Structure 1
Amino acid sequence: MKYDEINFGKATGEQEGAHIPELLRMGFIDKGNVLKKLRDEDRFLVLGYKGSGKSTIAEKIRLESFPEDQTSKYIAKIQHLGDFPFKSFAKIFSGQAEPEAKYPSTWSYLINLLIIGSLVKDAAFYYSENNGFREKVERLQQLGLLPTEDLKQLVVKSSKSSFKVQLPKVIEYMREDKTEIKDNDLLFLHIIESLNDMIKGFIATKKHLIVLDGLDDVLTTRELQYTSLSALVYEVNKINYAFARDRTNVKIIVLCRSELYERLPGPNKNKIKQDSAIVLDWYHDPRDPENSMLVRLANLRAGIAVKGEIDIFSTYFPNTFNEKVIAHFLLDNTRHTPRDFLQLLANLQPFYQGNKFSRSNILSGLRHYSLEYFMPEIKDEMVGYVEFEKFEQFVSLLNIAKLREFKLDLLDRISKENSILDLTTIVEILEALYDCSAIGCKWQNDRYEFKFRNRNSSFNKEVTIVLHHGLWKSLNLV
């Protein structure tokens, strides 16, 4: 088989799951036994940098969960929050309480409805033991609260004052206690409690998994989003604990970018992370590429195409490049994430001319990867952290400087000479770039540090700043 006939996959897990599911079924590495920890154990929070495989995990869970399959133990529903209406969300639970008090209750309301929407798909929905549950579902459907396939519409509907008028009717349908409650905030809390009671009373045949993905797709610098997402993590932690304690066959899974999680407000983030998070870290010393999980992943996916085992690096590439083992050299052009590495291998394919890659073929492929994937990917990651126009100005500054390594004072001087950006803005952009591993730091003893190598490191403006190899060709630095 030719190298350019190998399918290394899509840039997103959602696209792979929809169009080439066999890659997820057969070309997935369950690093650290993640699937079992999420489905059956106490971990619910998946943290990782963009491209580290969070959505791929979600799609893998979905593909192995079928309501109609008697051999499957799970029913999974992925809810994407990419176009989530945060402004409407903030209006659902009206009242004078602080957001830190209102937002968790609002998430509980929405999550409970998502769960009930999933339970409806369970074969046990029609069991006589669940007659009461089924009657309440019909009432919720009449009120327009079910089905919950479109969370955005549910949020918008629940935020309108016309919905608030229906709250007493919801309680009337949901509770045996017909005591009149006039306060809307109290009514809302009673609705949440009633929905929760419905879930706990349901006799399920499978475990129901609700996966919340896309939290960072529309991230802006608005404080509302950070506060509401922090409340989401807090409330999911609380809900999952209650379900585990009461042996309720439901679990909520949250996927979140590592750098976003670190920016969320709240005093208990580290406790939740230590007890309930899985951190996706694919970094492996590139000087030992034979044991790299990314190399294994690439060969696994290539093996699907050739219908057998293969080492693509010895088959299609020269043994070394620039005095490095070829896999080592290629890894150096990535941030050691599955997306970066697989997209690099895919971007090389148009330049394959048969047999083994030549040096010029590899350089052409790296240029294509840098221009068409790596730089656009970095720009996408800056959304929500850096204003678009300022980042474009920063890129023009790098183009003027023409340096792979530089000190901050030199960059500041060039910026002042060309009237581009002030020093404060430059530092803010550099900090954001460091967090997504687009730049690193270099000490005088030639010690390099990137975020993907050390997640606990932070940007140091006093040392030499280093551009990631993946950016060089897009900035004409090679």
Structure 2
Amino acid sequence: MDRLKLEDIYLGENDGKKEAIYRNDFERYFIDIDNNYEKLQQDKYFLVLGRKGSGKTYLGQYIKKKAESDPVHFCDVSSYKDFKFQELIQLQSGDITPNEYYEIWRWLILLDIGKQCLLDSATEDSDAKNRLIAFFNANYNSLQIDAKKVIEVTKKRQVRGGFLKSFVDVSGGEKLEEGSYLDYIDDLETVIFDVLGHSNSKFTIVYDELDDRFRNDEYYRHSIISLLKAADHINLKALEKKVKSKTIILLRTDIFSIFNDPDLNKIKRVNTLKIEWGTRVGVESPLIGMVISKAKKSSVLMRALNDEDVFRKLFPQSINYIQPERYILERSFFRPRDVITILNLIIEKYPDSDYFGWKSFVDVKQEYSEYLLDEIRNEMYGHYDDTEIDNIFKLLKNYNKHFVRHSELKEYMKKNEFHYKELDLEKMLIGLFKFNAIGNKWYNEYKKKQYYTWAHRDEKADLDLNKVMVIHLGLREALSM
């Protein structure tokens, strides 16, 4: 039998968007946890929630890739990575808070759907299609526009929307009527659904990377709440009109949790899918199953083996007397990104090795720990001030204990208060618990057993300051512990 080398195993990248770009056949390695792709084919689901690194972007790219193999399915992933949500302030409507950005999001979504309709050569010619073409030509001179371009044009309040009205003759030249987008939004919606009614194709818009400029401020919160409501409205209208159009929103769970609006509870209960990878520590974990599946798809040698043999071939050794599956999972936040990162670090360091050995895990501990700390910092960014984040991690690093009592940490901070000015200790400890840097530990006298609570394993859990706090295993090297 030929010898297997780690460099032959493709586990993917820790960034779903980059993986879709780097690898033409990335969809072969997609692991559809809980059949979320199939569920998204159902009419009611359009909001996908998941932690940072859980695979939301990968799912969005997979939807687009699957659409490419279907000649009547048009799909576009719209990135809002560099979008400045404050730009929407000038375009808010007179609606009550937090719905003041509802109309501009409805406008943006309709334009995205309209672009797709016009890119579909199979869409039947009609009066509505001619009016939509005239509207795009007059305002944008192209179908190759993004949200930035739309906002730029719309802010000028010189939208040329007369073309959308049914009584306008678009054959005789330009129509000079101009106004606010609010003057024409209902006409645009009517025209687009008329065009959709003349098409047998399927149209999907996926909104992704809405968190890159996240700040827990009024502009951002109200903007995303308005986006969710606008998407819900347009999706419902598509169902009522019996046309094949859907808007899908990919959003981080921690961001969705800060929204406070009664209508969102209905969307959460009825229209939402969550990407979750379980909480059990063992070979039966979906994350271990992901590694096995990707390894088998990477190697003909692996394909002939059953799953248990694949795992034991890849991970034949314990690491400091800890079973490999436990070692990997307990140093993760139960996300694909973490597991892929630690194993890719080993592949890069030991490409000619036959397996992931104990020494290789020890050798990448520091680098992996620094990655995990950066992930937490990035996830907390926007929820807390940068200085607060820096100070709480500086405090834990200087305190330098794996197990922490609140009273003792508070006393230590007071003795060194010059270094931690204006640090709200309790607030930041609650934040660290929410983002999994720390957990709780306690001893159950009745069961004679130690127990641990982690937010990523129990989303309803809260930090108990009266119990011992424990630093996450994956962070200890980065905090010099």
Q: Same fold (TM over 0.5)?
A: yes
Match of 2:224 in 1: 229
Q: Which moved more, 1:324-333 or 1:349-358?
A: 349-358
> Which runs of structure 2 are paired with 1:189-208 in the superposition (5 Å)?
189-202=182-195, 203-208=198-203
How many residues align? The count is 456
Identity %: 23
2:368 maps to: 369
SS of residue matched to 1:396: helix
Alignment equivalent of 2:383, drawn from 385, 388, 391 = 385
User: What is the aligned partner in structure 2 of residue 83 from structure 1?
Assistant: 82
SS in 2 for 1:149: coil
Output one character per residue of 1:48-68: Cα deviation in whole Å (capped at 9) or x when no partner: 1011100000000111112xx
Once superposed, which parts of structure 1, at least 4 consecutive aligned residues long, lie more than 6 Å away? none
| SS at 1:268 equivalent | helix
State the distance in 2 between where 1:63 and 1:413 align.
55
Change (3 A) 1:299 1:149: farther
Number of the residue aligned with 2:172: none
More helix by share: 1
Partner Cα distance (1:145, 1:46) in 2? 34
- Match of residue 171 from structure 2: none
Q: CA deviation at 1:426?
A: 2.3
- Structure 1 unpaired stretches of 5+: none
Distance 2:406 2:454 in 1: 17
Match of 1:279 in 2: 274
CA-CA distance at 1:230 after TM superposition: 1.1
Q: Aligned AA for 2:67?
A: S
Counterpart in 1 of 2:410?
A: 412
Q: Which amino acid in the other structure matches residue 154 of structure 2?
A: S
3-state DSSP class of the match of 2:18?
helix
Cα separation, 1, equivalents of 2:104 and 2:221 = 15
Counterpart position of 1:19? 22
Tell me, in whole angstroms, the C-alpha distance in 1 between the residues paired with 2:31 and 2:368: 24
Instruction: State the secondary structure of the residue aligned to 2:277.
Output: coil
CA–CA distance in structure 2, aligned partners of residues 355 and 366 of structure 1: 20
Does the 8 Å CA contact 1:283/1:452 hold for their aligned counterparts?
no
**Matched-pair contact (CA < 8 Å) for 1:401–1:411:** yes
Instruction: Provide the residue aligned with 2:435 in structure 1.
Output: 436
| Equivalent residue for 1:9, pick from 9, 12, 15 | 12
Q: Secondary structure in 2 aligned to 1:393?
A: helix
Cα distance in 2 between the residues matched to 1:123 and 1:183:
29
CA shift for structure 1 position 190: 4.3
Residues 1:54 and 2:41 are matched in the alignment: no
Q: Which letter maps to 2:15?
A: T
For 1:347, the equivalent position in structure 2 comes to 345
1-side partners of 2:438 and 2:291: how far apart? 25
AA at the equivalent of 1:421: Y
Cα shift at 1:418 = 1.7
**CA offset at residue 73 of structure 1?**
4.6
**Are 2:11 and 2:344, in contact at CA under 8 Å, matched by a contact in 1?**
yes
Alignment check: 8 A CA contact 2:77 2:205 kept: yes
Q: Once the two structures are superposed, what CA deviation does each residue of 1:346-399 show, in whole Å capped at 9, x if it has no partner? A: 12224436344443322112222112x211111111210122222222222111
Map Cα deviations across residues 258-292 of structure 1 (whole Å, 9 max, x no partner).
11001013112222111000011102411x31x22
Corresponding residue for 2:287?
294
**Partner Cα separation in structure 2 for residue 268 and residue 132 of structure 1:** 33
Q: Which residue of 2 aligns with 1:448?
A: 452
Secondary structure of the 1:475 match is coil
- Report Cα offsets for 1:88-121 as digits up to 9, x if no partner: 2121245x54343431111101110111011122
What SS does structure 2 have at the residue aligned with 1:314? helix
Secondary structure of the corresponding residue to residue 42 of structure 1: coil
Say if 2:264 is the partner of 1:269: yes
Q: Which amino acid aligns with 1:228?
A: S
Unpaired runs of at least 5, structure 2: 169-176, 445-449
Aligned mates of 1:177, 1:134 — CA distance in 2:
13
Structure 1 residue 323 displacement after superposition? 3.8
The answer to whether the 8 A contact 1:313-1:326 is kept is no
Question: In the superposition, relative to structure 1, how do residues 148 and 458 fare at CA in structure 2: closer, same or farther (>3 Å)?
Answer: farther
| Whole-Å separation in 1 of the counterparts to 2:376 and 2:211 | 14
The answer to whether the aligner puts 1:260 opposite 2:250 as a matched pair is no
* Counterpart code for 2:143: P
Tell me if 1:459 matches 2:476.
no
Give the TM-score, by structure 1 length: 0.89
- Structure 1's 73 and 34: CA in aligned 2 closer, same or farther, altered over 3 A? farther
| Partner SS, residue 186 of structure 2 | helix
Q: Secondary structure at the match of 2:364?
A: helix
Aligned to 1:152: 148
Letter in 1 for 2:469: I
Report how far residue 217 of structure 1 moved.
0.9
CA distance in 1: counterparts of 2:454 and 2:145, whole angstroms: 40
Which amino acid in 1 is paired with 2:17? E
Distance 2:422 2:402 in 1: 19
- Quote how far apart the aligned CAs of 1:17 are: 0.6
Residue 165 of structure 2 is matched in structure 1 by 175
Q: Which residue of 2 aligns with 1:425?
A: 424
Aligned to 1:138: 134
Q: Describe the SS at the equivalent of 1:32.
A: helix
* 1:473 corresponds to: 477
Which amino acid is 2:191 matched to?
Answer: M
Contact 2:128 2:194 in 1 (8 A): no
Quote the Cα distance in structure 2 between the aligned partners of 1:357 and 1:42: 43
CA RMSD of aligned residues (A): 2.3
Q: Secondary structure at the match of 1:447?
A: strand
Structure 1 residues 228 and 357 mapped into 2: Cα distance closer, same or farther (>3 Å)?
closer
Q: CA deviation at 1:406?
A: 0.6
Aligned residue in 2 for 1:112: 110
Pairwise CA distance, 1:37 = 1.8
Change over 3 Å in CA distance of 1:366–1:196 after alignment to 2:
same
**Residues 454 and 104 from structure 1, CA distance in 2 versus in 1: closer, same or farther, beyond 3 angstroms?**
same
Mark the CA change 1:393 to 1:100 in structure 2 (over 3 Å): closer, same or farther.
Answer: closer
Q: Kindly report which structure 2 residues correspond to 1:237-252, keeping only aligned pairs within 5 A, or say none.
A: 237-252=232-247
Return the alpha-carbon distance in structure 2 between the equivalents of residues 190 and 249 of structure 1.
27
Alpha-carbon separation, structure 1, partners of 2:334 and 2:231: 30
For 1:293, give the aligned amino acid.
P
Q: Secondary structure at the match of 1:399?
A: helix
